[in-house]
Amino acid sequence: MPCHALTRVTQKKKGEITKRVRIYKFTRLRHNKARRRAARLTRLMRQLNHSAEQVLCFQEIQQNSYLALLKRNLTAYTHHAFERNRFAPKGGLYTATRLAVQSSEFFAYQNRGRMVSLGVADWALNKGVLVSRLQVGAQRMIVMNTHLHANYGGNWDPEHSFAKIQRDQIEHLADLVNAQASDALVIVCGDFNFPRGAFLYDELLKRTNMFDPLANDPRPTYRPFRIIPGAKKWAIPIDFVLLRLASWPRLEFKADIHHIQDTTRALPHQRFLTDHNALSLHVTWDD
C-alpha cells in the first residue's frame, strides 16, 4: 500500500503559526500495473501542489523510479528527505517540504521480521522511521514518518508472531520519540497496522506520553476493496497522527479524517486515488 502524508505550516498573523498534517495512502498494485500506480501518484501530486500543505510524508514508495517522479512533479516542494537503498528508498519513506529541513535521518527497525514468511515484503522494504527536523519560527518541530510491519490475519494477541514484531517496532519508535528534545513538538504519522484498543496502541502512548487527537473517532482510515476476504474486518482505524506536546504558549490542535479522490474524473474508478482516508492535523500556537 504506497502511501503519503503531509504537514502544513503557514504564518497566519504576527506571532501565530499554523500547522497541518495529513496522511495519504495508495493501494498496492501488481508489477504489471505499475504505470497505473504512477499515474495515480502523479494526479495526487498535482492536487498537492495547489494545496497549502508544507510537509509531505510518503510511505511505501516501493521503487527508486518513483523518487524522480516525486521530485519532478512536486514542484511546490523544494526540500526532500529520504535514504536511498538498492531498489527503493529505505522503509519506502519519503518526505518533501516547502520548509528547509535542518536534518533528516532514517532509522531501520531492529526487528524487520523474517525473509521466509508472509511478511517478506515488509522485510524487503526495510521498514523504519524517517525523522525530519524543522525549525518553525522560534520553535522546533520533529516529523516522524513511519510504517510498521503488517499484521497478516489481524491477530493482535501479544503472543502472535506478527504482534511480537510490531511490539519490538513500537518499542524502537518510542525510544526515538523519547530521545527528541523536550521543547520540540513531535509529530508521528503513518500506517501503524494495528487499531485503537490493541495493546500495541496503548503501550506506544504510555511509553511516549503521546496524544491521539482522534482517539474517540470510530471512523475507519482503511477502506479495503470489497473483494478482499474479510473486508469489513479491516475497515478500521489503523493510521494515526500522534503528538508529543510541547510547552508552547496557547498550543491548540484539531484533527479530522477525509476521503481523498480525484474529483476531476467522471467515473468512480477514475476518481480512485487511495484505499485509505486522509488524516489532517491543525496545530496553532503563539510564537
Condensed to tens digits (0 to 9), the pLDDT of residues 139-193 reads 899 999 999 999 998 999 999 999 999 999 999 999 999 999 999 999 999 999 9
Phi, psi of 42 (to 5 degrees): -65, -40
Give the pLDDT band (50/70/90) at residue 267.
low
CB-neighbour burial class of residue 21 (10 A; exposed 0-12, middle 13-18, buried 19+): buried
80-125 pLDDT, tens digit each: 999 999 899 999 999 998 888 999 999 999 999 999 899 999 999 9
58-83 pLDDT, tens digit each: 887 888 988 999 999 999 999 999 99
Residue 225 DSSP symbol: -
Type of residue numbered 2 = P
CA 96 vs CA 93, 99, 245: distances in Å: 10, 9, 23
Q: What is the CA radius of gyration of the chain?
A: 18
CB 249 within 8 A of CB 286: yes
- Report the chain's mean pLDDT, rounded to a whole number: 82
Helix (H, G, I), strand (E, B) or coil at 127: coil
Give the pLDDT band (50/70/90) at residue 28.
very low
Flag the least confident range among 59-73, 190-204, 271-285: 271-285
- Cell numbers at residue 258, please? 477525509
**Is CATH 3.60.10.10 the right assignment for the domain spanning 3-286?**
yes
Give the pLDDT band (50/70/90) at residue 41.
confident
Helix (H, G, I), strand (E, B) or coil at 133: strand
Give residue 281's pLDDT: 79
Give residue 270's pLDDT: 60
- Cell numbers at residue 98, please? 516547502
Give residue 273's pLDDT: 62
CA 206 vs CA 117, 210, 212, 283: distances in Å: 30, 7, 11, 22
118-138 pLDDT, tens digit each: 999 999 999 999 999 998 888
This prediction has a pTM of: 0.86
Residue 222 DSSP symbol: B
User: Which sign, positive or negative, has the C-alpha torsion 26, 80, 45, 195?
Assistant: positive
